[in-house]
Amino acid sequence: MNDPLIFERAIHFAATIVAAGMVFFVAFVAQPALRKAKNDTLALSLFARLRWIAWFSFAFALVSGAAWLVLTAASMSGQSVANVYAQDVLWTVLWQTEFGNDWLVRLILACALAGVSVAFLSAQGAKSARLQTAAVILAAAFVGSLAWAGHAIGGQGTEGVIHPAADILHLIAAAAWVGALAPLALLLAMTKHDADALAVARTATLRFSTLGIVSVSTILLTGIINTWYLSGSIDALTETKYGRLLLIKIALFFAMVAVAAFNRLRLTPRLVEGPDLSVAQPAQRQLCRNAAVEAALGAAIIAIVAALGTLPPGSHAHHHESEGLIPPDAAFQHIHGIDGMADVIIEPGHVGTATATIHLLNDDLQTLTASEVTLTLTAPTPGSRPASRPANKDADGVWHVDGIQLSESGNWTVTVDAVVGPSKRLDLTAPIVIDAK
C-alpha cells in the first residue's frame, strides 16, 4: 500500500466520482427540490458552495491524472520519472498505448464537463433540458471511462462486452450514490435551521433516496458480475491478496447499505412526515451525520479500489499463487480468450536471459490440450520487431521456451498462438512488465 501509484489512483478516482456525482446530484436532486420550493436565496447560497466543490474536484482530477500518467509511463518504460520527460516516453505512452489513448479521451471529457458546468452550476435561472442532458452524459462518460484503466478491459468474446459494460455502469452508479453524498450533507446542513427551507430538505431527501435505491441495485448487480469475472471462486477470494481486499470492499459496501437502509426506513419518514419541527429537525441532523458516515465509508472503498487495480485479479493468479508456483522474481500474466486462457510466467522477469512457462487452461481451469504452441514477444520500443519461438511441452502438458533474450525493461507484448484442435487456434495477446536488471 506504499506504492505512490495507489495514492494517485485513489485521489483521481475520488475526484472524478465527486465531480460526476455533483452533476447527478444537481440534475436529479437539488434542482427539482429548489424549483418546487422556489427558494432563490437558498439556491444562490447552495450553488455557490457546490461550485467550489466542483472546481476543487476538477483540479484534483487534473493534477492526479497527470501524476498517474507519469508514474504509469515510468512503470511501462522501466525508466525513472526524470527520464520519462527526457526521452519522450510520455508521448509514446499517450499515442501508442490503450492507457494513453484513454487518458487523452478522459482529458477531453474533463475539459468539456468543466466547460458545461460553468452554466450548469449557475444558480441563475432554470437549466434547459439540453444543458442538463449534456452535463449528465458528460459526467457519466467521464466517470465511466475509468473502466478502461481497470481489469475489465482485455477480455475476449462475451466477457469482452459484458465485463466492461458492467464496470462502466458500476462506476456511474457509484458516482451517483457516493459522489452525491457530500452535496446532500451540505444541503441538509444548510436547511436544518430554517423552517422555510425544510421543504427543500424533504424533497431532496426523497429524491436522493430514490436515486440511492437505483444506484445500490446497479452496484450490487454489476458487482456480482465483476466479482465473478475477477475471482470466480471462493478460494480465489480467500487465498489471494486481491480476493481478501475485495472481501473488505464488499463488507464496507454492505456497511454503507446498512446506513442507507436506516436512513430510508427510519429517518426519512420522520423528516418527511414529521408533524412539526421538533420531529423533523432531529431526523434532518441525523441524516446529515449519516451522509458524512456513508461518504467516509465510500472513501475507504475508493482507496481499496485504487489498490485492487494494481494487483492481478484473484481468478487469474489463484491457481498459481495458492500453490506457490509464481517465483518472486518472475513476470506473470494471465490472458483470457473466448476459447481458453493462458498463464505466462517469465523467469526471471527482468532484463537478460529468461525462461517462459505457458500453461493453457479451459474455463474450468483445467489443462487445455494443444498440439503446437508459439510464443511471441515484442519489446516496448516503438518499431521493435516481434520475436517468435516454438514452445516445448513437458509431461504435465505445460509448455516451455528457454533462452529468451529480454533486451530492455518496460511494458512488453506477449502473444501465445496455440493449435488446440484440428481447425481451431487460440490466439492470445496481452502486455507483460519486464523490470530493469
Cβ atoms of 36 and 203 closer than 8 Å: yes
Query: How confident is the model at residue 105, as a pLDDT?
Result: 92
CA distances from 14 to 1, 20, 171, 361 (A): 17, 10, 11, 37
Q: Which amino acid is at 237?
A: L
Cβ atoms of 216 and 260 closer than 8 Å: yes
Q: Which portions of the chain are predicted below pLDDT 70?
A: 1-3, 37, 39, 75-80, 84, 86-88, 123-126, 150-160, 193-195, 231-236, 274-278, 312-325, 337-338, 363-365
Q: How far from the centroid of its chain's Cα atoms is residue 13's Cα?
A: 7
CA distances from 117 to 130, 131, 204, 383 (A): 13, 9, 21, 42
| Burial class of residue 386 (count of CB atoms within 10 Å of its CB; 0-12, 13-18, 19+) | exposed
The 8 Å CB, 24+ separation contacts for 258-267 are 259/290, 259/293, 259/294, 259/297, 260/212, 260/216, 260/294, 262/290, 263/209, 263/287, 263/290, 263/291, 264/209, 264/212, 264/213
CA atoms within 13 A on the CB side of 228: 13
Total residue length of the chain: 437
Cα dihedral: 173, 176, 179, 180 (round 10): -150
CA distances from 355 to 37, 237, 401, 406 (A): 70, 30, 6, 10
Query: How confident is the model at residue 210, as a pLDDT?
Result: 93
**How many whole angstroms separate alpha carbon 243 and alpha carbon 226?**
12
**How many whole angstroms separate alpha carbon 186 and alpha carbon 188?**
5
**How many whole angstroms separate alpha carbon 131 and alpha carbon 137?**
10
Class of domain 325-434: mainly beta
**Residue 397 in 3-state DSSP?**
coil
Q: Which amino acid is at 31?
A: Q
> Which helix (DSSP H) or strand (DSSP E) does residue 96 occupy?
helix 89-96
**Is the peptide bond between 348 and the residue preceding it cis, with omega within 30 degrees of 0?**
yes
Query: How confident is the model at residue 322, as a pLDDT?
Result: 42
Q: 403 CB contacts (<8 Å, ≥6 apart)?
A: 353, 355
pTM assigned to the model: 0.74
Cβ atoms of 246 and 308 closer than 8 Å: yes
Domain range summary for the chain, segments of one domain joined by +: 4-315, 325-434
Query: How confident is the model at residue 289, as a pLDDT?
Result: 92
Cβ atoms of 250 and 241 closer than 8 Å: no
Comparing C-alpha atoms, which of 210, 217, 334, 214 is closest to residue 263?
A: 210
Residue pLDDT, tens place only, 365-400:
678 889 999 999 988 887 788 899 999 999 888 999
Strands 352-361, 425-434: pairing is unpaired
Class of domain 4-315: mainly alpha
**How many whole angstroms separate alpha carbon 84 and alpha carbon 296?**
35
Comparing C-alpha atoms, which of 340, 311, 303 is closest to residue 230?
A: 311
**How many whole angstroms separate alpha carbon 351 and alpha carbon 330?**
11
